[in-house]
Chain A
Amino acid sequence: MTLPALGWQGLVVLATFGISLLIATYCTYAERVIAAFLQDRVGPDRAGPFGLLQPLADAVKLFTKEEFFPAGANRALFVFGPCLAMVTALMSSAVIPFGNFLQFGDTIIHLQGIEINVGMLYVFGIVSLGVYGIMIGGWASNNKFSLLGAIRAASQNISYELAMGLALIAVLMMSGTLSLREITLQQSVAGEWHFWNIAKQPLGFLIFIVCAFAETNRTPFDLPECETELIGGYHTEYSSMKMGLYLFAEYINVFVASAVMSVLYFGGFNFPFQYELRDWLVSSRGLELVTAQNIITILGLVGLFAKIFGFIFFFMWVRWTLPRFRYDQLMRLGWTILIPLAIFNIMLTGGLITFGIIK
């Protein structure tokens, strides 16, 4: 196997893409299993062992349903909406560092799609574009409920992006870099006690996770698709796989939001005592340093995915526990509570950095 470095990196990009899709697929299954568990039901258990083939059955169902175009709809934009939602959702996982590097001989493979030094801004930019898929789809449906859902989605996303960005600034003040890989590496330093960002930014994390729920349109902030008021919201008129793309995009967004939270606040691919473990592998087991580092990288990859799955579970747990807010409550929470709190958090962080309490 003599692939040039670019070829290996291409494989990593493909793998990131595939993993995003696979996780989104099984999120649909996990959502039902968790819902069943929380409501003391059995849940999906017919398709395959433990109902594991349920996503496949869903796909067959969605593909064989009728492609419906409402009268007076803007056909081109009606198709374009779900495609855009899917594309923007898939683009954002490209910069997430899923692991450190693997080294085989002279080849070094970074377990990250692309490394750019404005990685965090890239994620933020793509997330802010995600709302177009919903807005265009809702408008093109030529249905007032869809339009209302689209308008809600737009104003909700804009409002919560502000607080999210301000919460992020506090993290960036400590790290001094926008690169997600650098932020991850800074959260663990060999040979000294070093805490993950959650210990230094508890308030920032709280703001960020609330905003993440609003940005991904998950309960208790799923007002754009609020059934009790808007039938189905922006996807009222959608059927078949176009509907499926919207649902899929939501799960991919949940996955990416979980990954970003794990990287920013929970140490990314770092895990406790990794350097001690590496040194132990070298000194007591007689492994080479490179091999030991590769083992640590793979363990870190597993650790990051454990954190991501934990967050995904949290998203679903909240969905089946809390009822949804009213729309004015949502707006008031965003503008009059979260934004002032985030500004306070920035000033607090600035003060603590100035007096050298955190760095």
Chain B
Amino acid sequence: MSPLFLFLSFVALLSALGVVLAKNPVHSVLFLILTFFTLSGHYLLLNAQFLAAVNIIVYAGAIMVLFLFVIMFLNLNEETEPHKPALAKFAAAIAGGSLLLILVAALRNVNPAGYDPANFDSQIGMVDKLGMVLFKDYALPFELASILLLAAMVGSVMLGKRETGERNF
């Protein structure tokens, strides 16, 4: 394991813990952004440059901005934080614990698939290779997903359109 991998994993785990443990929700969001960065670093180590860049653009750049946006408006802090009843805390602990149990049970006996160094293609994660796979082997799911995204975008444009008679000024 390279020192870079160890460092990235260390920061990833630390910042993921920070997301859960930070008292201030804005700090939690910033830790989550840091986690996405370390994940992008892992993608780069796997020679998947396109995935790394898209991870930064979509998750760190767009979705987390919206998270931060909403949390800043909510004005969450320790005084206004609602105190949950003990039963809810108990139920949450049980649910979280069983999820952990399932994940551990599922991943306990997994063997890493490994790779064959003789005919391993180091360019597999490059954008042109990825495009070939997406458009040749998975053309239909890819197009369906893109229609879904386009529909969402057209929907947001429609929501932003001024309705008849509406005036803001």
**A-to-B contact residues, CB < 8 Å:** 74, 77, 116-118, 121-122, 124-125, 128-129, 131-132, 135-136, 139, 147, 150-151, 154-155, 157-158, 161-162, 178, 326, 328, 331-332, 335-336, 339-340
Q: Is the CB of B65 within 8 A of A154?
A: yes
* Complex-state Cα separation, A35 to B66, whole angstroms: 36
Q: Is the CB of B49 within 8 A of A116?
A: yes
* 22 pairs, A vs B, C-beta closer than 8 Å: A117-B127, A121-B50, A121-B53, A121-B54, A121-B57, A128-B61, A128-B65, A129-B60, A131-B65, A132-B33, A135-B72, A139-B68, A139-B72, A151-B73, A154-B68, A154-B69, A161-B61, A326-B169, A331-B160, A335-B156, A339-B157, A340-B157
Q: Is the CB of B160 within 8 A of A122?
A: no
* Complex-state Cα separation, A154 to B157, whole angstroms: 18
**Cβ–Cβ < 8 Å partners of B11 in chain A:** none
Residues of chain B from 60 to 96 with CB closer than 8 A to chain A in the complex:
60-62, 65-66, 68-69, 72-73
* Complex-state Cα separation, A125 to B57, whole angstroms: 5
Name 13 extra pairs, CB < 8 A, besides A121-B54, A150-B72.
Answer: A74-B26, A118-B50, A118-B53, A122-B53, A125-B61, A128-B62, A129-B56, A131-B65, A139-B26, A157-B65, A158-B62, A336-B157, A336-B161
Q: Is the CB of B153 within 8 A of A162?
A: yes
Least Cβ distance of A47 to chain B in Å? 40
* Complex-state Cα separation, A328 to B61, whole angstroms: 23
* Majority secondary structure of chain A interface residues (helix, strand, loop or mixed): helix
B126 within 8 A of A: yes
**Cβ–Cβ < 8 Å partners of A336 in chain B:** 157, 160-161
**Cβ–Cβ < 8 Å partners of A116 in chain B:** 49
**Cβ–Cβ < 8 Å partners of A77 in chain B:** 26, 30
* Complex-state Cα separation, A116 to B50, whole angstroms: 10
* Complex-state Cα separation, A148 to B65, whole angstroms: 15
With contact pairs A118-B50, A128-B57 given, residues A158 and B65 touching in the complex (Cβ less than 8 Å)? yes
Q: Is the CB of A158 within 8 A of B66?
A: yes
Least Cβ distance of A302 to chain B in Å? 31
* Majority secondary structure of chain B interface residues (helix, strand, loop or mixed): helix
* Complex-state Cα separation, A180 to B95, whole angstroms: 49
* Complex-state Cα separation, A46 to B54, whole angstroms: 49
**Cβ–Cβ < 8 Å partners of B157 in chain A:** 335-336, 339-340
* Complex-state Cα separation, A162 to B153, whole angstroms: 10
Least Cβ distance of B104 to chain A in Å? 34
**Cβ–Cβ < 8 Å partners of A135 in chain B:** 65, 68-69, 72
Question: Which chain B residue has the least Cβ–Cβ distance from A147?
Answer: B72
* Complex-state Cα separation, A118 to B53, whole angstroms: 8
Least Cβ distance of A136 to chain B in Å? 7
* Complex-state Cα separation, A103 to B157, whole angstroms: 52
Question: Which chain A residue has the least Cβ–Cβ distance from B68?
Answer: A135
Question: Which chain A residue has the least Cβ–Cβ distance from B71?
Answer: A139
3 residue pairs, one from A and one from B, having the closest CB atoms: A128-B61, A121-B53, A125-B56
Q: Is the CB of B65 within 8 A of A136?
A: no
Residue among A128, A150, A151, A155 with max Cβ neighbours from chain B (10 Å): A128
B168 within 8 A of A: yes
B136 within 8 A of A: no
B162 within 8 A of A: yes
**Cβ–Cβ < 8 Å partners of B69 in chain A:** 135, 151, 154-155
**Cβ–Cβ < 8 Å partners of B53 in chain A:** 118, 121-122, 124-125
* Complex-state Cα separation, A122 to B127, whole angstroms: 13
Least Cβ distance of A121 to chain B in Å? 4
**Cβ–Cβ < 8 Å partners of A339 in chain B:** 153, 157
- Interface code B140-163, partner A: CB below 8 Å = 1, 0 otherwise? 000000000000010011001110
Least Cβ distance of B49 to chain A in Å? 5
Least Cβ distance of B135 to chain A in Å? 13
* Complex-state Cα separation, A193 to B60, whole angstroms: 42
Question: Which chain B residue has the least Cβ–Cβ distance from A129?
Answer: B61
Question: Which chain A residue has the least Cβ–Cβ distance from B150?
Answer: A343
**Cβ–Cβ < 8 Å partners of A125 in chain B:** 53, 56-57, 60-61
Q: Is the CB of A117 within 8 A of B57?
A: no
Least Cβ distance of A259 to chain B in Å? 19
* Complex-state Cα separation, A12 to B49, whole angstroms: 23
Least Cβ distance of A326 to chain B in Å? 8
Least Cβ distance of B68 to chain A in Å? 6
B160 contact from A132, A147, A332, Cβ within 8 A: A332
A132 contact from B65, B162, B169, Cβ within 8 A: B65
* Complex-state Cα separation, A135 to B49, whole angstroms: 27
* Complex-state Cα separation, A125 to B24, whole angstroms: 26
Least Cβ distance of B18 to chain A in Å? 13
Question: Which chain B residue has the least Cβ–Cβ distance from A337?
Answer: B157
* Complex-state Cα separation, A335 to B30, whole angstroms: 28
